[in-house]
């Protein structure tokens, strides 16, 4: 039996990204709509990773059961932390600058337009795992509450994709009610400490190991040669589900080069398919876009 490694990552939920600069990134409402399966375009689409027939197996561990409620709760809690809120939405620096009368809302803190409005923790069970996911994700939620000490917005378990996993959304609060996604996520060293703490408190108790550190550039070539020799000497080892999944992910990263090296014809795969009238009329449509700021503050307080 192959070793199973823990899989967890953090990502900021931003409404605007300095890295893309040309488009808005994910919002709290958008993340919650995905987590709570309110995006109809994801359900039943041919290229979707979601098996809608199993979505009834998903579970809300904490927080509102609809995305609007999660977004409203976030606004309410940010208001309690002294963040500038107006008309049911968070004021960022670009929007506050357009308000008449100087500093908005009696000096409440105005977030930068690229500030994280939430942080999402995603924890997955490895492929082929036989771990009791209900007990595991219950312990994940308890660990997240204690480790981050942040205000939780939502925690949802997905069982309708290839592996069971949980999405935990929380506010990036630090210290005396201050918000800072950068301080919460931190640098590579802080993320490594998070991995260690999770493995000590949760992962190891379920037989999961901490993923190895990134291999140094000087030794990557030799490790690759050793790995290829091992696969060629015993091809059956590559058919084990977890190993097969890992190999497919690696191949996908350099698919064109590998396909050409092995003489696989990639011309047909790279030729755009002709569009037919029937295909256009029957293709999955994007979900109707709701106004992300339509939730008022009173609803947020009621939800909380």
Band (pLDDT 50/70/90 cuts) for residue 206 is: very high
Positive/negative CA dihedral, 193, 195, 198, 199: negative
CA atoms of 36 and 66, how far apart (whole Å): 7
Element containing residue 156 per DSSP (H, E): strand 152-158
Q: Domain-by-domain residue ranges, the chain?
A: 7-211+295-303, 217-270
Helix residue ranges per DSSP H, the chain: 28-35, 67-80, 93-96, 133-148, 181-185, 188-201, 217-233, 241-253, 255-261, 267-270, 277-282, 297-303
Which CATH fold would you assign to the domain 7-211+295-303?
BirA Bifunctional Protein; domain 2 (3.30.930)
pLDDT at residue 97, as a whole number: 56
Does the reported pTM lie above 0.95? Answer: no
Q: 89-93, 122-126, 200-204, 213-217: which range is least confident on average?
A: 213-217
- C-beta of residue 150 within 8 angstroms of C-beta of residue 169: no
| Displacement of CA 166 from its chain's centroid (Å) | 9
13-51 burial, b if ≥16 CB within 10 A, otherwise e?
bbbbeeeeeeeebbbbbbbbbbbbbbbeebbeeeeeebe
pLDDT higher than 70, residue 291: no
Q: Environment class of residue 67 by beta-carbon count within 10 Å: exposed (0-12), middle (13-18) or buried (19+)?
A: buried
pLDDT higher than 50, residue 71: yes
The residues, ordered by sequence, that sit 6+ positions from 303 with a Cβ below 8 Å of its Cβ are: 64, 69, 72, 73, 76
What are the tokens at 20?
A: 């893309």
The residues, ordered by sequence, that sit 6+ positions from 262 with a Cβ below 8 Å of its Cβ are: none
Count of alpha carbons within 13 angstroms of residue 209, beta-carbon side: 6
CA atoms of 292 and 136, how far apart (whole Å): 33
Structure-model confidence comparison of residues 2 and 304, the more confident one:
2
pLDDT at residue 289, as a whole number: 43
* Helix 28-35 × helix 67-80 angle, to 10°: 140
């Amino acid at each position: 039996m192959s070793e199973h490694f823990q899989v967890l990552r953090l990502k900021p939920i931003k409404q605007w990204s300095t890295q893309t600069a040309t488009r808005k990134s994910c919002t709290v409402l958008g993340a919650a709509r995905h987590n709570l399966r309110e995006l109809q375009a994801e359900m039943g689409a041919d290229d979707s990773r979601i098996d809608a027939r199993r979505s009834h197996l998903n579970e809300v561990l904490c927080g509102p059961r609809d995305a609007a409620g999660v977004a409203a709760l976030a606004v309410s809690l940010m208001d309690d932390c002294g963040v500038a809120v107006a008309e049911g939405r968070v004021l960022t620096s670009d929007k506050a600058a357009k308000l008449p009368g100087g500093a908005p809302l009696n000096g409440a803190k105005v977030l930068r337009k690229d500030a994280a409005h939430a942080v999402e923790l995603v924890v997955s069970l490895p492929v082929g795992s036989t771990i009791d996911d209900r007990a595991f994700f219950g312990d994940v939620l308890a660990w997240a509450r204690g480790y981050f000490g942040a205000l939780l917005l939502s925690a949802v378990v997905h069982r309708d994709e290839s592996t069971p996993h949980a999405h935990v959304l929380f506010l990036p609060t630090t210290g005396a009610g201050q918000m800072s996604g950068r301080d919460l996520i931190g640098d590579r060293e802080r993320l490594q400490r998070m991995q260690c703490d999770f493995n000590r408190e949760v992962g190891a108790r379920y037989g999961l190991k901490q993923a190895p550190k990134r291999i140094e550039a000087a030794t990557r070539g030799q490790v690759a040669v050793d790995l290829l020799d091992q696969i060629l000497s015993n091809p059956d080892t590559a058919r084990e589900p977890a190993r097969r999944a890992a190999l497919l992910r690696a191949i996908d990263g350099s698919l064109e080069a590998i396909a050409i090296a092995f003489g696989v014809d990639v011309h047909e795969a790279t030729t755009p398919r002709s569009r037919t009238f029937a295909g256009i009329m029957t293709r999955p449509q994007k979900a109707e876009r709701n106004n992300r700021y339509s939730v008022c503050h009173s609803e947020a307080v009621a939800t909380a």
